[in-house]
Structure 1
Amino acid sequence: MNYTVTESATPSIMLQGTCSNAGKSVLTAALCRILLQDGLSVAPFKAQNMALNSFVTPDGKEIGRAQAVQAAACRLEPDVRMNPVLLKPSSDTGSQVIVLGKPVANMRVKEYVQYKPTAFAHVQTAYDSLAAEHDVLVLEGAGSPAEINLKAHDIVNMQMARYAQSKVLLVGDIDRGGVFASLVGTMELLDSWEKDLVAGFILNRFRGDESLLDPALEYTTGRTGKPFLGVVPYVMQLGLPEEDSVTFKESIGRQMPVRDDALDIVLVDLPHIANFTDVDAFGIEPDAVLRVVNSVENLGRPDCIIIPGSKNTPGDLHWLHESGLSAAITQFVEAGGVVVGICGGFQMLGKTVSDPSSIEYVAQASSDSHAQLHATQQGLGLLPLRTVMGEDKVLTRVTGMHVPSGATVTGYEIHHGVTEIAGSANALQQAVTREDGSVIGYGTACDHSFQTVWGTYLHGVFDDDVFRRAFINDLRSRKGLMPLDGVQASFSIDPALDRLADTVRDALDMQQVYSVLGL
């Protein structure tokens, strides 16, 4: 694939990695905040993102959650131009392709490869438009630029850097080991023009005495001709949403000690889990422990089970039944346990989920063990609701109300399904409504502030500090614990971004960074 180059490029710099989860997204956010602090108008850009964590822009379009965080680092509203192509996997071989914030189609890998020239034309237009409005752009790559099976149709790494006339900083994660081999090996697999774009290396997530690295740094620079621009320490409790599911998946089944005076909150890890960042805020609460489980054996005896969003609700419902978790969740509710469903998890709480047009399940490969699922899947049956997947996708920011408590809640909706009452509504009560009174959540009937079983389409519902504390205090009361007065933790990423920027500024040679930018 041959691409043209911009005639007059806005200063830019790109962070690429030796692998996925090397820390590119976080370092991109850090550089965005540093440049903003230094008085520049800066914006993030990622040509193509494959992620199930997404976010809705103010104009009702969908981008990767990481670019929304990076926009916050720039103190900008999220803009679809920051992530013009988003891929949301719905199976091992297929994804929903979202271009400029709107779904285009469900495509398998070979279909998407054929579509890439069209996608890149949209990428170029978006980049040029965004670059024209800012002093500098910080670009993020994806995976590794040395994936030689993908390089011929690359639109996110070196080809994007060449189009933007951007130099590249190559990031390696030293915490996982083998980082120097990864850096040298990546350079060995790059073409000569790609090597010329690399301005230097960054080591990320280092623990220990930095002086011990000197021989390795000198050797690697001598071997590649590329300098190190800094060694970034491992930042504990970063306080930012996870972009990649790698770290999230590593926590599955991990047995964390739960104090008698703390709450045990379980998140079910669905095979096609989406927007698992909806529960991030529980991680900062002093009286809550968040566990991620994907089996009955690891379920334990929690105080609350949260069923998150899914990019393949019918398939994940099938998995819940097959794994035995659906029966365990039902027994948990019968014993008085609290269950909350968000988006796809909300849909699963009902009696049925139908996907007659294969809106979510169309990308399944024939080799998939669940490829022949029925058009209608039995839900958990905890609420008298039914959901039907439709062609139209709801993408909207919401300010609404949690009906039982009267609390204001904010967030965003991303879903294809339409959920309606199925049968008698006597055992049902509204849980969440929009400002206009339309219902986006139901739960069991109750006469106090929180229902035993409830769900909502509202992503980010627990991000509000006051609402989250009220919910936790309700769980405490059910457990026989006294409520804690007032907000105990503030879930604001802005202070976290400042702390991150301070750490990265101290670690990097910012004079070299500015030299790379030509500023």
Structure 2
Amino acid sequence: MSSTHGGNLHELAARLGCKAEEILDCSANINPLGPPEQLWQVLAARLPDIIHYPDPEAADLVKAISNQYRIGSGQIVVGNGTSELLYAAVRAAKPQRAVIPVPAYIDYRNACAHAGVKVLPVPLSAEQDFQPHLRQLYELLRPGDLLILGQPNNPTGRLNDRQKLLALADRQPEVLFLIDEAFAGFIEGYESIACCRENIITLCSLTKLFAVPGLRLGFLAASEAFCQKIRTQIAPWSVNSLAQAAGTFVLGQTSYIQRSRETVQNCREKLLRELAENLPRLRVIEGAANFLLIHLSGRISAANLADRLLRESKIAIRVCSDYEGLNSQYFRIAVRSEEENNRLVHALQKILDPEKTVSSTTQRKRTPALMLIGTGSDVGKSVLAAGLCRVLLQDGLRVAPFKAQNMSLNSCVTKDGGEMGRAQVVQAQACLLDPDVRMNPVLLKPSSDTGSQVIVLGKPVGNMRVAEYVRYKDKLWQTVCTAYDELAAEQDCIILEGAGSAGEVNLKAHDIVNLRMAQHSQAPALLVGDIDRGGVYASFIGHVEVMVPWERKLLAGFIVNRFRGDVSLLADAHHFLEQRTGKPVFGVIPWLHELGLPQEDSVSFKAGLYNRPKPATEHIEIALIDLPHISNFTDIEPLLAEPDVWLRTVRHADQLGQPDCVILPGSKNVIADVAWLKESGLDAAILRAAKQGREIIGICGGFQMLGHSVLDPHGLEGEPGSLRKGLGLLDLTTELATEKTLTRRQGTHLPSGQPVCGYEIHHGRSETAAAALLHFEGGASCGCTDPSGKVWGSYLHGIFDSDLFRRWLINRWRAAKGLPALSGQGAHYDLEPALDQLAEVLRWNLDMKAIYRLLGV
């Protein structure tokens, strides 16, 4: 199990038969934050440099080091990692002997052996936590010696007093001091001793603090004379172009360095507490570094413990039996993130103390989860999420949907009066669950190009412009996480949906809905792209390119959506994609015609209308006014299911024509949309249609527009006190109130006697002397009509969902047109067959076995 160094994940993965990224590496002491995020853009920009030889002097990097450490350029030598510089330094020093307090980094001895230098090990006392005694070293040292010290020591983490170390160097001017500061960057307040004395040589690794061990980069600082000797020991072009660019960039990341120190310190302290509380039999050596040396008491050896941790939990630790001065009971662990540290403690406890109850802080039950993110809006995430929910439900799992933040004017009301996105309501139905605002804790309803109403856990909290909402997101994040955690605790698995494009670099800093949410839920992500738009594979690659390592780690692969044609033709593209990104395609979903599920996006919805042909048989023609701020457009979807209805959208007065019915839908900004009707001339066209006996229907905002006026005293949709005259077709006046009505309704359409049901979402308070149109259970009423009965409206969203009412209405239009009533009851509006059909399509076209492996169920 043990090896000379930690971090040999490829060997461990081959042994387990898994991917290296599946192993939690606690054997290598690398910054748990990962590299600075902007580094990936720096490396991508410098990638063309690989066609040229690198700068042999690494001038830019040396200058950056010189500025950071305030030492002369001639006192710096950069190398391909500090190991190269260590070996070169020993060769250049040519000491009579090397004095090494042990235990110590194994390559100190190896470098000496390689140079033929005799080593004098100085054993450190375990009882005194391996702290070096500089007085003892003073007495042992003699002219011509080379003293090699870790500052802090690896593997003990012990740190020497800076002033005493410098004093020792002063008292032994003929001794060379090689001080390894590889892990010093993690220590708050540490001051390097680079070039503080002529007889001091320091080594500094740039791979550990900045988490780029694969680049192999470090530097040595010493007198100019010694540095000149070192340069003769190193091959030319030792440091490649990308490593030079990376080093130059990261040295200036002061805020990242400070955040790294604070994070490691906090995580280290919490890890120490968890070990003390849950595993008191372990003796932890008190050190200052980003790792812990631990002594294991009992019969089990560190090697056996490491083997079990790897096999049972896929966790790697560093066995320290090959360190001089340590026995088979010592191991070392890196300080990782809090969650990873807790995972390690839990795994250790299962082996070393399985009967003890694990504390709540170390054991967080993960609900299996999968996230669908997209290359953009309207690529099919919502529909695919609904389909996966239904597949998992059919397979016997309790599953729920979740979308942290939805921007949509298409919403519904839950049984307890909360407002949430319609897409999550459909997904809830796919799971056979009642809609729950925790499934969509944040809903944004745009009211202008730069502002939205913000709804949190079903209730409006106010209108916010973009900058204001960005600031508010910090507060929202905990609300979102709590909603998810509560919902996930009640389910066997969760299907999460992202929003828009997961590659929007301008939004990632304050993301609460895409990969940050995947990270919180520990959900692997699949990136969905719409191939019908073109450029889907370039978009996939582009999204991966702008992802930082932790995001790429969460991304499991891709789903190609809306494909028309022979899937075998995509094989080369899929091979290229996997070669370029290392991620596979999990399936190709065909274009689904007439699926019958509500659209999440009004663009998709209206595109479907534009492509819908006119029925060849006798039919009713409906004109839907395409308001700029149209909302709850899915109200009219049940009409699309009828075989004798042709519904089209209208945005210009000359498009209205001679329809049998005109529908004014809901609006998120009634006052602005009334103004648009007048500016476009549609108001006059609608009035002419009413005089001609065409039926005019208004739903919610459209209902308000049919009245005499709409007043906004509180500035909910415009300037406070603004007033707009309506079409005047109904004896109705409306005032927008600050309190929002959110309620479900069930009752009767009085003129027909037919049942209706739905929900109300509105700020408007309307007054009319006309008789009510709808009567609800509990005594409430809503809506009104003109004397002819041909102009009417109500606040009830979903009014057309009732099959009996909808057919009564269409047959009334048919009679007015001189057509006989349609025999039978017409269409049956039911999402269940569509959801089952969608699930069947996904089963055939997705690698469901691979998806179940991702879920871990």
For Structure 1 versus Structure 2, the TM-score category normalised by the shorter chain is over 0.9
SS in 1 for 2:589: strand
Could you tell me which residue of structure 1 aligns to residue 682 of structure 2? 325
1:265·1:291 contact (CA, 8 Å) conserved in 2? Answer: yes
- Please point out which of 778, 795, 806 is paired with 1:457: 795
Encode CA deviations 1:196-226: one digit per residue, 9 max, x unaligned.
1011111011111111111111101111000
For the residue of structure 2 that corresponds to 1:503, the secondary structure is helix
SS at match of 1:152: helix
Cα distance in 2 for residues equivalent to 1:8 and 1:272: 43
Q: Percent identity of the aligned residues?
A: 56
1:407 is matched with 754
- Do residues 157 (structure 1) and 506 (structure 2) align? no
Paired residues of 1:203 and 1:232 also in contact (CA < 8 A) = yes
Equivalent-residue separation in structure 2 for 1:331 and 1:386 (angstroms): 22
Q: Secondary structure at the match of 2:727?
A: coil
- Is 50-59 or 477-486 further displaced after alignment? 477-486
Does structure 2 retain, via aligned residues, the 8 Å contact 1:254–1:291?
no
Q: Is the 1:258–1:264 Cα contact (8 Å) retained in structure 2? A: no
Q: Partners of 1:277 and 1:412 in 2: how far apart? A: 13
User: Higher helix share goes to which structure?
Assistant: 2
Question: What are the residue-to-residue correspondences of 1:285-364 with 2, within 5 Å?
Answer: 285-361=642-718
Offset, 1:430: 2.2
- Aligned counterpart, 2:786: 444
Q: Secondary structure at the match of 1:155?
A: coil
Deviations 1:84-129 (A, max 9, x none): 0000000000000000000001000000000001111110110010
Q: Deviations over 1:449-498 (max 9, x none)?
A: xx200001000000111110000000000111001133111110011100
- Write the letter of the residue equivalent to 2:398: S
Asked if structure 2 preserves the Cα contact closer than 8 Å seen for 1:12 and 1:164, the reply is: yes
User: Of 432, 451, 454, which aligns to 1:75?
Assistant: 432
Letter of the 1:47 counterpart: A
Q: CA RMSD in A?
A: 1.7
Q: In 2, Cα distance between the equivalents of 1:351 and 1:165? A: 54
Report if the CA contact (8 A) 2:617-2:644 is conserved.
no
Conserved? CA contact 2:731–2:786, under 8 Å: no
Q: How does 1:18-97 map to 2 (within 5 A)?
A: 18-97=375-454
The answer as to whether partners of 2:609 and 2:647 remain within 8 angstroms in 1 is no
Aligned partner of 2:727: which letter?
L
1:477 lines up with 2:477 in the alignment: no
The alpha carbon displacement at 1:439 in A equals 2.3
What corresponds to 2:772 in structure 1?
430
**Deviation at 1:138?**
0.3
Query: What is the rounded CA distance, in whole Å, between the counterparts of 1:205 and 1:399 in structure 2?
Result: 37
Aligned match of 2:806: 468
Task: Give the TM-score taking structure 2 as reference length.
Answer: 0.57
Q: Which has the higher contact order (CA 8 A, sep 6+)?
A: 1
Q: Does the CA-based 8 Å contact 2:760-2:795 persist in structure 1?
A: yes
Q: Identify the residue that residue 241 of structure 1 maps to in structure 2.
A: 598
Matched, 1:265 2:265: no
In structure 1, give the amino acid aligned to 2:583: K
What is the alpha-carbon distance in structure 1 between the residues aligned to residue 378 and residue 635 of structure 2? Answer: 20
Equivalent in the alignment of 2:184:
none
Letter in 2 for 1:329: I
1:76 partner SS: coil
Map of 2:527 onto structure 1 = 170
**Deviation at residue 236 of structure 1 after TM alignment:** 0.5
Query: 2:726 — aligned with what?
Result: 379
Q: Which ranges of structure 2 fall in alignment gaps of 5 or more residues?
A: 1-258, 264-336, 340-362
Aligned to 1:92, the other structure's residue is in SS state coil
Deviation at residue 258 of structure 1 after TM alignment: 5.4
Aligned partners of 1:396 and 1:80: how far apart in 2? 14
Structure 2 residue corresponding to 1:495, chosen from 825, 830, 833? 833
1:462 is paired with a residue whose SS is helix
2-side partners of 1:125 and 1:248: how far apart?
Answer: 33
CA distance in 1, matches of 2:654, 2:556: 49
Cα displacement (A) at 1:376:
1.1
Task: Choose from 3, 6, 13 the match for 2:370.
Answer: 13
SS state of the match for residue 380, structure 1? coil
Amino acid in the other structure paired with 1:191: V
SS in 1 for 2:772: strand
Partner Cα separation in structure 2 for residue 417 and residue 156 of structure 1: 31
TM superposition shift of 1:7: 3.3
- 1:516 matched to 2:854? The reply is yes
Listed as ranges, the matches of 1:117-266 within 5 Å are 117-250=474-607, 256-257=613-614, 259=616, 261-266=618-623
Change in Cα spacing, 1:514 to 1:252, as seen in structure 2 (3 Å) is closer
Given that residues 252 and 294 in structure 1 are in contact (C-alpha distance below 8 angstroms), is that contact kept between their aligned partners in structure 2?
A: no
Aligned CA distance change for structure 1 residues 104 and 295 (closer, same or farther; 3 Å)? same
Offset at residue 39 of structure 1 (A): 0.3
1:282 to 621, 626, 639: 639
Determine the C-alpha separation between the residues in 2 that align with 1:374 and 1:325.
25
The ranges of structure 1 where at least 4 consecutive aligned residues each deviate by more than 2 angstroms after the TM superposition are 1-8, 248-260, 436-439
Return the alpha-carbon distance in structure 1 between the equivalents of residues 683 and 663 of structure 2.
13
CA contact (8 A) 2:615 2:643 kept: no
Q: Is the 8 A contact 1:28 1:139 kept in 2?
A: yes
Cα separation, 1, equivalents of 2:693 and 2:838: 42
Contact 1:469 1:486 in 2 (8 A): no
Find the aligned partners of 2:687 and 2:616 in 1 and give their Cα distance: 25
Deviation at residue 259 of structure 1 after TM alignment: 4.7
Tell me which amino acid in the other structure corresponds to 1:110: A
1:456 and 1:352 map into 2 onto residues whose CA distance is 16
Q: Using the alignment, how far apart are the partners of 1:226 and 1:114 within structure 2?
A: 35
- Residue from 761, 764, 767 that aligns with 1:420: 767
Relative to structure 1, the CA distance from residue 472 to residue 4 in structure 2 (aligned partners, 3 Å threshold; closer, same or farther) is: farther
Tell whether the 8 Å contact from 2:615 to 2:644 is kept in structure 1 after alignment.
no
Deviation of the 1:360 alpha carbon: 2.6
Residue identity opposite 1:392 in structure 2: E
TM-score (norm 1): 0.94
Q: Which has the higher strand share?
A: 1
Q: How many residues align?
A: 500
Q: Which residue of 2 aligns with 1:369?
A: none
